[in-house]
Protein backbone atom coordinates (compact mmCIF):
# COMPACT_ATOMS: atom_id res chain seq x y z
CA UNK A 1 0.00 0.00 0.00
CA UNK A 2 2.75 2.44 1.01
CA UNK A 3 4.73 1.42 -2.04
CA UNK A 4 1.78 2.29 -4.28
CA UNK A 5 1.46 5.69 -2.60
CA UNK A 6 5.15 6.34 -3.16
CA UNK A 7 4.95 5.45 -6.85
CA UNK A 8 1.84 7.57 -7.22
CA UNK A 9 3.84 10.64 -6.11
CA UNK A 10 6.12 10.27 -9.13
CA UNK A 11 3.13 9.81 -11.41
CA UNK A 12 1.56 12.93 -9.91
CA UNK A 13 4.74 14.83 -10.67
CA UNK A 14 4.61 13.89 -14.36
CA UNK A 15 0.98 14.98 -14.56
CA UNK A 16 1.76 18.26 -12.79
CA UNK A 17 4.61 19.02 -15.22
CA UNK A 18 2.29 18.40 -18.16
CA UNK A 19 -0.45 20.59 -16.69
CA UNK A 20 2.02 23.46 -16.29
CA UNK A 21 3.39 23.02 -19.81
CA UNK A 22 -0.13 22.96 -21.23
CA UNK A 23 -0.71 26.44 -19.81
CA UNK A 24 2.74 27.81 -20.61
CA UNK A 25 5.33 25.85 -22.61
CA UNK A 26 8.03 28.14 -21.15
CA UNK A 27 6.96 27.68 -17.52
CA UNK A 28 10.06 25.76 -16.40
CA UNK A 29 12.45 27.58 -18.72
CA UNK A 30 11.50 30.87 -17.07
CA UNK A 31 11.97 29.43 -13.56
CA UNK A 32 15.38 28.08 -14.53
CA UNK A 33 16.61 31.66 -15.00
CA UNK A 34 16.44 32.44 -11.30
CA UNK A 35 14.11 33.52 -8.53
CA UNK A 36 12.95 36.84 -7.18
CA UNK A 37 10.30 35.96 -4.60
CA UNK A 38 8.77 38.95 -2.77
CA UNK A 39 7.94 36.89 0.31
CA UNK A 40 9.72 34.78 2.90
CA UNK A 41 7.35 32.37 4.62
CA UNK A 42 8.21 30.98 8.04
CA UNK A 43 5.62 28.34 8.81
CA UNK A 44 4.97 25.14 10.71
CA UNK A 45 6.17 21.82 9.31
CA UNK A 46 2.61 20.48 9.74
CA UNK A 47 1.51 18.61 6.59
CA UNK A 48 -1.85 20.43 6.64
CA UNK A 49 -0.32 23.87 6.14
CA UNK A 50 1.33 23.81 2.69
CA UNK A 51 2.73 27.31 2.22
CA UNK A 52 2.24 27.94 -1.49
CA UNK A 53 -1.07 26.19 -1.82
CA UNK A 54 -3.04 28.06 0.85
CA UNK A 55 -2.06 31.48 -0.50
CA UNK A 56 -2.35 30.61 -4.18
CA UNK A 57 1.33 31.25 -4.83
CA UNK A 58 3.17 29.83 -7.83
CA UNK A 59 6.68 28.36 -7.88
CA UNK A 60 9.11 31.28 -7.68
CA UNK A 61 6.85 33.47 -5.53
CA UNK A 62 7.57 32.34 -1.97
CA UNK A 63 10.84 31.49 -0.24
CA UNK A 64 9.95 28.98 2.44
CA UNK A 65 11.30 27.94 5.82
CA UNK A 66 9.32 25.53 7.95
CA UNK A 67 9.93 23.97 11.34
CA UNK A 68 7.90 22.69 14.24
CA UNK A 69 5.61 25.49 15.46
CA UNK A 70 7.05 28.15 13.09
CA UNK A 71 9.75 29.24 15.50
CA UNK A 72 12.25 32.06 15.00
CA UNK A 73 15.07 31.01 17.29
CA UNK A 74 18.01 33.36 17.07
CA UNK A 75 20.64 30.64 17.48
CA UNK A 76 19.10 28.42 14.78
CA UNK A 77 21.67 28.51 11.98
CA UNK A 78 19.18 27.05 9.52
CA UNK A 79 16.61 29.80 10.12
CA UNK A 80 19.29 32.52 10.18
CA UNK A 81 20.75 31.34 6.89
CA UNK A 82 17.35 31.32 5.21
CA UNK A 83 16.55 34.76 6.64
CA UNK A 84 19.92 36.21 5.64
CA UNK A 85 19.65 34.90 2.10
CA UNK A 86 16.03 36.02 1.72
CA UNK A 87 16.64 39.53 3.06
CA UNK A 88 20.16 40.27 1.82
CA UNK A 89 20.40 38.34 -1.45
CA UNK A 90 16.80 37.96 -2.65
CA UNK A 91 15.64 41.26 -1.09
CA UNK A 92 12.21 39.99 -0.12
CA UNK A 93 9.74 42.74 0.79
CA UNK A 94 7.74 40.74 3.33
CA UNK A 95 8.47 38.11 5.94
CA UNK A 96 5.40 36.24 7.14
CA UNK A 97 5.37 34.08 10.25
CA UNK A 98 2.36 31.81 9.83
CA UNK A 99 1.21 29.67 12.74
CA UNK A 100 -1.91 27.56 12.78
CA UNK A 101 -4.64 26.63 15.21
CA UNK A 102 -4.40 23.04 16.41
CA UNK A 103 -0.59 23.11 16.24
CA UNK A 104 0.88 19.96 17.80
CA UNK A 105 4.01 21.82 18.88
CA UNK A 106 1.96 24.35 20.82
CA UNK A 107 -0.16 21.58 22.34
CA UNK A 108 3.00 19.80 23.46
CA UNK A 109 4.28 23.02 25.01
CA UNK A 110 1.09 23.29 27.07
CA UNK A 111 1.64 19.81 28.46
CA UNK A 112 4.38 18.12 30.41
CA UNK A 113 4.84 14.85 28.54
CA UNK A 114 8.44 13.93 27.68
CA UNK A 115 8.62 13.11 23.97
CA UNK A 116 12.31 13.06 23.08
CA UNK A 117 14.92 15.45 21.79
CA UNK A 118 12.05 17.62 20.57
CA UNK A 119 11.44 18.55 24.25
CA UNK A 120 14.33 20.99 23.87
CA UNK A 121 12.75 22.65 20.84
CA UNK A 122 9.38 22.82 22.59
CA UNK A 123 11.14 24.54 25.49
CA UNK A 124 11.29 27.73 23.43
CA UNK A 125 7.50 27.64 23.11
CA UNK A 126 7.15 27.14 26.86
CA UNK A 127 9.10 30.39 27.28
CA UNK A 128 6.36 32.13 25.29
CA UNK A 129 3.81 30.70 27.71
CA UNK A 130 5.80 32.03 30.65
CA UNK A 131 5.95 35.52 29.11
CA UNK A 132 2.16 35.52 28.79
CA UNK A 133 1.17 33.25 31.67
CA UNK A 134 -1.16 35.80 33.30
CA UNK A 135 -3.27 36.19 30.16
CA UNK A 136 -3.20 32.48 29.29
CA UNK A 137 -3.88 31.11 32.77
CA UNK A 138 -6.91 33.41 33.00
CA UNK A 139 -8.57 31.66 30.03
CA UNK A 140 -10.53 28.78 31.57
CA UNK A 141 -11.69 27.15 28.35
CA UNK A 142 -8.82 24.93 27.29
CA UNK A 143 -9.47 25.23 23.54
CA UNK A 144 -9.62 29.01 23.78
CA UNK A 145 -6.42 29.04 25.82
CA UNK A 146 -4.77 26.80 23.19
CA UNK A 147 -5.91 29.11 20.36
CA UNK A 148 -4.66 32.20 22.15
CA UNK A 149 -1.33 30.51 22.86
CA UNK A 150 -1.01 29.80 19.10
CA UNK A 151 -1.59 33.50 18.40
CA UNK A 152 0.76 34.75 21.11
CA UNK A 153 3.47 32.42 19.87
CA UNK A 154 3.21 33.92 16.38
CA UNK A 155 3.38 37.46 17.81
CA UNK A 156 6.45 36.51 19.83
CA UNK A 157 8.14 35.00 16.76
CA UNK A 158 7.49 38.23 14.82
CA UNK A 159 9.19 40.14 17.65
CA UNK A 160 12.06 37.64 17.55
CA UNK A 161 12.39 38.30 13.82
CA UNK A 162 12.56 42.03 14.46
CA UNK A 163 15.24 41.48 17.08
CA UNK A 164 17.58 39.69 14.66
CA UNK A 165 20.63 41.62 13.47
CA UNK A 166 19.58 40.74 9.91
CA UNK A 167 16.22 42.49 10.05
CA UNK A 168 17.50 45.45 12.08
CA UNK A 169 20.35 45.91 9.62
CA UNK A 170 17.93 45.91 6.68
CA UNK A 171 15.81 48.59 8.37
CA UNK A 172 18.92 50.62 9.18
CA UNK A 173 19.73 50.55 5.45
CA UNK A 174 16.18 51.72 4.60
CA UNK A 175 15.45 48.47 2.84
CA UNK A 176 11.68 48.06 2.45
CA UNK A 177 10.94 45.07 4.67
CA UNK A 178 7.66 44.36 6.41
CA UNK A 179 7.17 41.54 8.84
CA UNK A 180 3.79 40.01 9.62
CA UNK A 181 2.12 37.46 11.88
CA UNK A 182 -0.66 35.23 10.57
CA UNK A 183 -2.60 32.27 11.92
CA UNK A 184 -4.11 29.65 9.63
CA UNK A 185 -7.31 27.82 10.50
CA UNK A 186 -6.91 24.15 9.64
CA UNK A 187 -10.68 23.65 10.01
CA UNK A 188 -11.62 26.64 7.84
CA UNK A 189 -8.70 27.17 5.47
CA UNK A 190 -8.81 30.85 6.35
CA UNK A 191 -5.88 32.99 7.46
CA UNK A 192 -6.20 35.58 10.23
CA UNK A 193 -3.81 38.53 10.09
CA UNK A 194 -2.76 39.36 13.65
CA UNK A 195 -1.72 42.84 12.48
CA UNK A 196 1.67 42.80 14.15
CA UNK A 197 3.17 44.76 11.30
CA UNK A 198 6.69 45.93 11.94
CA UNK A 199 8.54 48.50 9.87
CA UNK A 200 11.30 49.64 12.21
CA UNK A 201 13.13 48.57 15.34
CA UNK A 202 11.79 51.58 17.29
CA UNK A 203 8.90 49.35 18.30
CA UNK A 204 11.20 46.94 20.15
CA UNK A 205 12.11 47.24 23.81
CA UNK A 206 15.14 49.48 23.92
CA UNK A 207 17.44 46.74 25.18
CA UNK A 208 17.05 44.89 21.83
CA UNK A 209 17.66 47.91 19.59
CA UNK A 210 20.97 47.64 17.79
CA UNK A 211 22.90 50.80 16.90
CA UNK A 212 24.82 50.65 13.65
State the catalytic residues: 44, 46, 48, 100, 103
Is 46 one of the binding residues for Co ion (CB under 5 A)?
yes
- Name the phi and psi angles at 117, rounded to 5: -60, -25
Which of residues 44 and 92 has its CB atom nearest to Co ion in the complex?
44
Q: Is 180 within 8 Å of 96 (Cβ atoms)?
A: yes
Listed ranges 1-9, 44-52, 117-125, 128-136: which one lies at the site for Co ion (CB under 5 A): 44-52
Which of residues 11 and 53 has its CB atom nearest to Co ion in the complex?
53
x/- map, 89-128, Co ion, by CB under 5 A: --------------x-------------------------
**44 vs 68: CA distance, rounded Å:** 5
**79 vs 77: CA distance, rounded Å:** 6
Is 51 one of the binding residues for Co ion (CB under 5 A)?
no
Instruction: Using alpha carbons, list the distances in angstroms from residue 127 to 6, 80, 123, 170, 181.
Output: 39, 20, 6, 27, 18
Q: Given candidates 44, 51, 109, 158, which one binds Co ion under the rule CB under 5 A?
A: 44
x/- map, 129-148, Co ion, by CB under 5 A: --------------------
- Name the phi and psi angles at 116, rounded to 5: 160, -150
Q: Which chain residues interact with Co ion by CB under 5 A?
A: 44, 46, 103
Amino acid sequence: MENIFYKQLLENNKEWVQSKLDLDPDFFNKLAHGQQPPVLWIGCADSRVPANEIIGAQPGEVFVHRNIANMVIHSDMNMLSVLDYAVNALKVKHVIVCGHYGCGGIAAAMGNQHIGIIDNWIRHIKDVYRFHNKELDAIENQKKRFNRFVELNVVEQVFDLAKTSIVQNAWENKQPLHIHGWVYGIDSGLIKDLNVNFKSNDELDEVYQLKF
